[in-house]
A and B are shown apart, each in its own frame.
Chain A
Amino acid sequence: MQLPAPLEAKFKELAGRYPVKRSALIPMMLYAQDQFGSLGDEILEEIAKRLDLNMIQVEETLAYYSMLRRKPAGRYHVQVCTNISCMLRGGNELYQHVQKRLGIGHKEVAPSGTFSLEEVECIGACTGAPAMQVNYDFYENLDADKVDAIFEQLQAGKKPKPSPVTAGALHERLPAEVPVISKRFGIPNSNKIDVYRNNDGYRALEKALKEMTPDQIIDEVKKSNLRGRGGAGFPAGMKWSFVPKDTSKPKYILANADESEPGTCKDRPLMEMDPHQLIEGVVIAGRAVGAHQGYIYIRGEYRYVIDIMDAAIAEAYAKGYLGKNIVGSGFDFDLATHTGAGAYECGEESALMESLEGKRGYPRIRPPFPAVVGLYGCPTVINNAETLSTVPAVIRMGGEAYANLGTPKNGGTRLYSISGHVNRPGIYELPLGFPLRRLIEEVAGGVRGGKKLKAVIPGGSSCPLLTADEIDIAMDYDSVAKAGSMLGSGGTVVMDEDTCMVDVARRIMHFYAHESCGWCIPCREGTAWLRKMLDRFHGGGGRAEDIPLIDELAKNMLGRTFCPLGDAAALPTISIVKKWRNEFEDHLAGKCAYKPAEMIAGAR
């Protein structure tokens, strides 16, 4: 099959990117889809041929990822987020407006072929909610008028200006903030290598490569008490130390930038405004464990971020920070991005590796752990993009100095993306242990409209919710755990007194049911069952016995699923039933005290 030249070039480049051909499958499909609008038999057969795959292998991989499609979408594929952060700020109403305006529903294409519509899960624009994407362009802080203006321009054949950077990432520094990894945010052209170098960039790399042994690097990271920023909070230095030293196999560094946890949008500005910081962190990690190849797995929806990252990687190669003999140290390291194609589960580390290998994003059985058997069966360090972005600062400042920014065992600072019913949704860098109450009231400017606080999700929608009475806690891994929740991904979602908690439970479950990979029974069946039940309950069809059943089914998933997604679905549900049981009872009595949101199904 004759491909258009740019796609052919992309295919050639992708084919050379991985030691195993199949890894190029998902990127090839996504880029081909961008070219042709959908994936037809001919192009899929061509890809299968190029990658030595059977069609069934191609088909089953395609079927897993929600961005990939066999049927054409419109020229402008409108994707409206109705997940929790957007929902709280009018995402449902916006979606209804768009439906009316375009005259089409979920996954429908307008007869003219100009527009198609999809209700999507969290797109990582939580601090700019409500938000939508048109093809790959982000439009944030929307309302009906803004949407109308965007559609008018599109219909007129003009491209409306997308939101320039992640909304809420740029703001005047607050006194409480401690900018370490976000310190270059706002500097013009901060994504360019020269600007980066002029602002401490690549100094840590020079130091690590020229002045430190791999063990010293690991020690420094251990001293920093840097813990995983993806959610689990595992100490990064310890993770690195698990990688076997004497192995003949190649080793890999993976940056997990598949940011998809609802309420979380911190990796996006981090890569968008400071891509070199991540590159530097990855190379240092490579040096520490003896790896010579890294991949940055970025969720497919963040295409413009991938483009920025690719450009930064090219710059780093040009300036000798990647490739052979980096800064004259004799150390070689290669790095490339890898695009996801729409699957929350691929943020789970082993599922991410499966996905990077061109397969369905099913998690793997552990042990063996990735440090021993990871990507392509080789030792692999996989860290969240933010974790790796922090590494240069750790090396530059010294582990101890970094650790001292935070609290004991919870070193340094982290980014919080705070969204929902606050006056100043945004992305803030704060030291670990920062009080949640201050985060809401001081940093985010308090609950908007003078309303009272009802509930907080501290770190992404997988976390048990906290009531207004439970916010006097320090935001570090241990304190939040003690309070019965999790620090998670730093995606703090705030809900005011008018929020219907049954609706929140329903919307959260929709997300997990949509994202359940289907591998294990309790998650696959449990999330789907709970979704149907919560829909029915919220829609007025509840029964008294449903309330304990919702709680029990969630508990029946808890701790028994193959990967943490089951827990992620169960924990918030259990906490909502426990803490706001009265709202479920009100629903039963036919009196939801809050503006009853119309039934909107959530992405499917």
Chain B
Amino acid sequence: MAEQKQIAFTIDGKQVTTSAGTLVIEAAKKQGIEVPSFCYYPGLSLQAACRMCLVEVEKVPKLQTACTLVATDGMVVKTDTEQVHKARKDMIEFLLSNHPLDCPVCDKGGECELQDMTFRYGLDKTRFVEEKLHSPEEKWSPLVYYDAPRCILCFRCVRVCDEGMDVKALGVGSRGVQSVILPNQPGELACEECGMCIDICPVGALTSGTYRYQTRPWEMTYVGNPCAHCSNGCKTTLSVRNNEILRANNRDHSGINGEFLCAKGRFGFDFTTHAERVRQPLVRRNGKLEPASWEDALEEVARRLKQVHEAHGPAAIGVIGSNHTTNEENYLLNRFARVTLGTNNLDHHRTADYAGLAAALGPRAKDSLATMADVYNAPAILLIGNDVTQQNPLVAWQIRTGVRHHGLKLYAINGRPSKIHRQAKIAVEVAKGGERQALRWLATEQGQLDAKTTEALVQLKAALEAEKDVVVLFGAEIQGSAIRDLISFGARFGGKTKFMALGDYANSRGASDLGVLPDRLPGYAPLADATERARFGKLWGGEVSATPGLTARAMMEAAAGGKLKALYVVGANPLKTFGVAQPDRLAGLELLVVHDMFLTETAQRADVVLPAASTYEKDGTLTNTAGEVQLTHRAVDAQGPRSDFDLLRILSHQLGMLGLGSAIRLRTPEAAFDEIRQNVAGYDLSQANLLGGGSEVAAASCKAPEPSYEAPSGAVFSSQDYLFTSGTLGRYCSRLTSTNEAKETPWGSSPNTQSWWYR
């Protein structure tokens, strides 16, 4: 970027140097001078509507709005004069004239910008004796309520919905003092229900269906966690009172997502208190799952695992891990499977080919993995597959914001329409599932494509080859050798090309990175590598077998075929995921153990169900799809269920006493993370930033590129969750599923959804 010209101006007597084009309100902020405002919101278009930021400028007769005033050389600005104070006081008085002053019962009380500004700048009495405007509160959706009298018409909500979200669900109705915010359908919102409008509202005009009239903000404690749902790892601040999460928002706009949260991050937390939550261990007796004590349940699991192990050997045991469990739990599960049980039958539902990317990049991963910030900052992006608006909402937000703020150029190839194509410079809509073929053509000019697609790709290719520092994003459509094609195509762009695989869930990447894979040890160390086997074997106090394990899909098939006798499932629902939900599918199993929060299709068939804590109920780390690692904290006590970490640890002790493996000595997730940091490639991360609530990029990757790596057929696929679904977890987010929009997939042909999703 070109060096910015510097200018010098004076504010409140201070000589200040700043880059040309800086708004006075921003320059003031840097000097610690607060210029109050309602309508000004960094990153959104300027309004100059609230007139709170009026300042004096020497030689200018009228007060000027600091939010639109660009500082220029020699300008003299005063923010602390009688005239300015009077203006602020008067604006507050005008604003309060029709404001209901129902602060004692307003959700925003204590967090309200109008309250704060009145406190700081307002009049101490009310001179308005006329009748205030009244209108009833409106319910726009189960999640969004609008109270027009409280609205100060700063239009932040309208702008964030239009400019930020590109949804345009809000408008302004009527005129003058009668002006109100309008939803896009009479009295009802049809939108992405992201709740950004609620978050950005400076007053209590837009309130959250999940939070309204629940509590006062000062009665809660706040815990910043990565969201439990998709793979983007947005930080969501859980607001907790009496061991219950009452609200989620990104309170301090920290974290990789800044101010952004989607519907899942904001409203999808009520699974923690869902009535169907399993809170007590269940053991199948006489064909029925019945509550049992922890002692009995764990004893049952240990005893029967030992039996299967003795009778059929370790190869008859399979372990399926999770996209949601923490890195520490995945690490423990690795040890548990490979050393305690002695099997490499270890896998999870892979939603993006992270292993393929690691194999293709090798050690280059260290500086070739794009972060969420890179997506925003990139001058250009190539996006192949995945409907990011639906599946990776933060990625989509970063792209949209980059386009808006600095002209990021988006190039997209997709087998279906996507809302993000509105932001694209070139969007090539190929045949359904045709992304792989299009990429092959781009990389090698080989393969048959129709003339229209070829023409579009020629254009896209020429444009991309003129770009530099491109960030390449790809979904599950691109795996194995296709990733190698992508990297070789990416090498033709100027500057440094970076990559990001787009997965589905909160720790999809962590599961791969930590080696919940049949052929990879943590950090993508090849199972075939004897040195690596020895290294981890030593660490885990046992021996890692060289025999490659089965994929999750193969395990399910082996179970059906009677070859697998015991299946140990942690936080997954393979019966549903692998589409083999026939009741007799698991008939060949002698033992099915499931850790889960709910009685999923798989859990219902289990011999023992161990109730598990959610990510909001335990400590650990999660790795988002970009490789960014963040701490997650126990925001609430699970009240019954236990973390998978504890369950695996305790079980290893039980099994150890029965002579199977040795007890896991890592007592806490912190201790496990220390071991990970010392032993897992790419995870040698500094703690300081993580402890401060930040993120660190883990570039877990292969030691050397593996030019022939292919993901096993059918192992890598996306669940096609959209904004209102989230695998099994999403089914228990009642708030999320209560919206009209949740009822239909965005990819259906219903004119109803099409009308708001793609227009």
Residues of A within 8 A of B63 (CB): 559-560
Interface string of B125-137 (1 = CB under 8 A from A): 0011011000000
Whether the Cβ atoms of B171 and A529 lie closer than 8 Å is no
Q: Is B54 a contact partner of A560 (Cβ separation < 8 A)?
A: yes
Alpha-carbon distance between A509 and B175 when the two chains are bound, in angstroms: 16
User: What is the CA–CA distance of A549 and B176 in the complex, to the nearest angstrom?
Assistant: 21
Please report the C-alpha to C-alpha distance between residue A580 and residue B253 in the assembled complex, in whole angstroms. Answer: 55
> Chain B, 16-59, contact with A by CB distance < 8 Å: what is the 0/1 string?
00000000000000000000000000000011111110100000
Question: Chain B's nearest CB lies how many Å from the CB of A603?
Answer: 11
Do residues B176 and A518 form an inter-chain contact, with CB atoms below 8 A?
A: yes
Are A561 and B182 in touch, CB under 8 angstroms?
A: no
> With the chains together, A513 CA to B177 CA distance in Å?
8
Segment of B92-100, B207-215, B312-320 engaged in the interface with chain A: B92-100
Q: How far is the CA of A360 from the CA of B175 in the complex (A)?
A: 9
Interface size on A, residues (CB 8 A): 37
Q: Is the Cβ of A559 less than 8 Å from the Cβ of B62?
A: yes
Question: Interface readout for B51-95 with A: 1 if CB under 8 Å, 0 if not?
Answer: 110100000011100001000000000000000000100110111
Asked if A69 lies at the interface with its beta carbon under 8 angstroms from chain B, I say no
Contact of A520 among B50, B90, B168, B169 (CB under 8 A): B50
Residues from chain A with a CB closer than 8 A to the CB of B175 are 63-64, 66, 343, 360, 516-518
Q: Is the CB of A533 within 8 A of B130?
A: yes
A-side contacts of B172, CB under 8 Å: 60, 63-64, 360, 518
Q: Are B184 and A526 in contact (CB under 8 A)?
A: no
Segment touching B, from A24-32, A50-58, A180-188: A50-58
Q: In the complex, what distance in Å separates the CA atom of A383 from the CA atom of B90?
A: 34
Query: Does residue B452 face the partner (Cβ distance < 8 Å to A)?
Result: no
A:232-284 near B, CB below 8 Å: none
Residues of chain A within 8 A (CB-CB) of B174 are 63-64, 518
What per-residue 1/0 map shows which CB atoms of A516-531 lie under 8 Å from chain B? Answer: 1111111011111100
Verify if A96 is at the interface (C-beta below 8 Å from B).
Answer: no
Known: A64-B175, A522-B51, A524-B179. A365 touches B94 (CB 8 A): no
Docked-complex contact B49 and A514, CB < 8 angstroms: no
Per-residue contact bits, chain A 296-339, to B (CB 8 Å; 1 contact, 0 not): 00000000000000000000000000000000000000000000
B68 touching A365, Cβ below 8 Å? yes
Q: Answer whether residue B153 sits at the interface, using C-beta atoms and an 8 A cutoff.
A: yes
> Out of A343, A513, A519, A522, which one reaches B94, CB within 8 Å?
A522
Residue of A nearest to B130 (CB): A532
Tell me which residues across on chain A come within 8 A of B54, comparing CB atoms. Answer: 560
Is there a chain B Cβ closer than 8 Å to A369's Cβ? Answer: no
Q: Name the residue on B nearest A345 (C-beta).
A: B175
A402-B46 Cα distance, complex, nearest whole Å = 43
B179 touches A518 (CB 8 A): yes
Measured in the bound complex, the distance between the Cα atoms of B213 and A316 in whole Å is 66
Chain A 492-543 residues near chain B, CB threshold 8 A: 513-522, 524-529, 532-533, 536
Assess whether B448 is interfacial by the CB under 8 Å rule. Answer: no
Residue on B nearest A48 in the bound complex, by CB: B759
CA A244 to CA B51, docked complex, whole Å: 31
CB-CB nearest in chain B for A512: B176
Give Cα distance in the complex from A520 to B95, angstroms: 10
Contacts of B128 in A (CB 8 A): 529
Residue A556 interfacial (CB < 8 Å): yes
| Contact between A515 and B176, CB atoms less than 8 A apart | yes
| Residues in B174-188 with C-beta less than 8 Å from chain A | 174-179, 182-185
- Which of B127, B130, B176 has a CB less than 8 Å from the CB of A516? B176
Quick one: which of A360, A365, A516, A527 has the most chain B CB within 10 A? Answer: A365
For residue B439, CB closer than 8 A to chain A, the reply is no
Asked whether, in the complex, the Cβ of B178 is within 8 Å of the Cβ of A525, the reply is no
A586 CB contacts on chain B under 8 angstroms: none
Residues of B within 8 Å of A520, CB to CB, are 48-51
A442 at the interface (CB under 8 A from B): no
B152 in the interface (beta carbon within 8 A) = yes
Nearest A residue to B158 via CB reads A60
Q: Do B173 and A63 have beta carbons less than 8 Å apart?
A: yes
Q: A residues within 8 A CB of B169?
A: 56
For B52, the chain A residues whose CB sits under 8 A away are 521
B352 part of interface (Cβ distance < 8 Å): no
A515 and B175 alpha carbons, distance in the complex (Å): 8
Chain A CB within 8 A of B648 CB: no
Indicate which residue in B91, B98, B153, B173 contacts A522 across the interface (CB closer than 8 Å): B91
CA distance A570 to B185 in the complex (A): 37
Residue A59, interface by CB 8 Å:
yes
Is B131 within 8 A of A525, CB to CB? no
What chain A residues lie within 8 Å of B51 (beta carbons)? 520-522, 560-562
Nearest opposing residue in chain B for A41, CB measure: B186
Interface range on chain B: under 10, 10 to 19, 20 to 34, or 35 or more?
Answer: 35 or more
User: Between A and B, how many residue pairs show CB distances below 8 Å?
Assistant: 116
B564 contacts chain A at the CB level, 8 A cutoff? no
In the complex, what residue of chain A is closest to B161 when comparing beta carbons?
A56
A482 to B692, CA, bound (A): 64
CA distance A560 to B54 in the complex (A): 8
Q: Which B residues are CB-close (under 8 A) to A549? A: 127
B170 interface contact, C-beta 8 A? yes
Nearest CB to that of A61 among chain B residues?
B171
Cβ–Cβ contact A60 & B173, under 8 A: yes
Q: Say how far A531's CB is from chain B's closest CB, in angstroms.
A: 9
Contact of A527 among B61, B131, B177, B759 (CB under 8 A): B177
B198 nearest CB across to chain A (Å): 18
Question: B118 to nearest A CB, angstroms?
Answer: 13
Find chain B residues with CB under 8 A from A365 CB: 46-48, 68
A64 — which chain B residues lie within 8 A by C-beta? 172, 174-175
Q: Which residues of B contact A57 (CB under 8 A)?
A: 168, 171
* Residues A75-129 near B (CB distance < 8 A): none
**Cβ-closest chain A residue relative to B174:** A63
B168 touches A56 (CB 8 A): yes
Task: Encode A330-358 as 1/0 by CB contact (under 8 A) with B.
Answer: 00000000000001000000000000000
CA distance A57 to B169 in the complex (A): 9
CB distance from B61 to the nearest CB of A (A): 8
The chain A residue sitting closest to B133, CB to CB, is A528
Contact of A55 among B46, B47, B62, B184 (CB under 8 A): B184
* Complex: chain B residue closest to A532, CB-CB: B130
Most A CB within 10 A of own CB, among B54, B95, B171, B176: B176
A516 neighbours in B (Cβ, 8 Å)? 175-177
The reply to whether B171 and A59 form a contact with Cβ atoms under 8 Å apart is yes
Cβ A528 vs Cβ B49 within 8 A:
no
Are the CB atoms of B182 and A528 closer together than 8 Å?
A: no
Residue of A nearest to B759 (CB): A54
Q: Is the CB of B184 within 8 A of A54?
A: yes
B573 to chain A, nearest CB (A): 38
Instruction: Determine if B50 and A525 form an interchain contact, defined as CB atoms under 8 angstroms apart.
Output: no
Closest Cβ–Cβ distance, residue B738 to chain A (whole Å): 23
User: B48 contacts which chain A residues (CB < 8 A)?
Assistant: 365, 520, 562
* Given A60-B171, A360-B172: A525 touches B94 (CB 8 Å cut-off): yes
Cα-based distance from A263 to B236 in the complex (angstroms): 58
Bound CA–CA A516/B179 (angstroms): 10
> Is A521 touching B173 in the complex (CB atoms < 8 A)?
no
**Residues of A in contact with B (beta carbons under 8 Å apart):** 54-57, 59-60, 63-64, 66, 343, 360, 365, 513-522, 524-529, 532-533, 536, 549, 556, 559-562
Q: A365-B48, A520-B49 are in contact. List 14 more A-B contacts (CB 8 A).
A: A56-B183, A63-B173, A360-B175, A515-B176, A516-B176, A517-B176, A519-B47, A520-B51, A521-B51, A521-B95, A522-B94, A524-B94, A528-B97, A559-B63
- What are 19 residue pairs bridging A and B, where the CB atoms are less than 8 Å apart in the complex? A56-B184, A63-B182, A365-B46, A365-B48, A365-B68, A516-B177, A517-B176, A518-B172, A518-B174, A518-B175, A520-B51, A521-B49, A524-B177, A525-B95, A525-B97, A527-B177, A529-B94, A560-B90, A560-B91
In the A-B complex, list the 9 residue pairs whose CB atoms are closest, starting with the nearest: A60-B171, A518-B179, A528-B177, A532-B130, A525-B94, A56-B184, A516-B176, A556-B90, A63-B173
- Which residues of B are at the interface with A, using a C-beta cutoff of 8 A? 46-52, 54, 61-63, 68, 87, 90-91, 93-95, 97-98, 127-128, 130-131, 152-153, 168-179, 182-185, 759
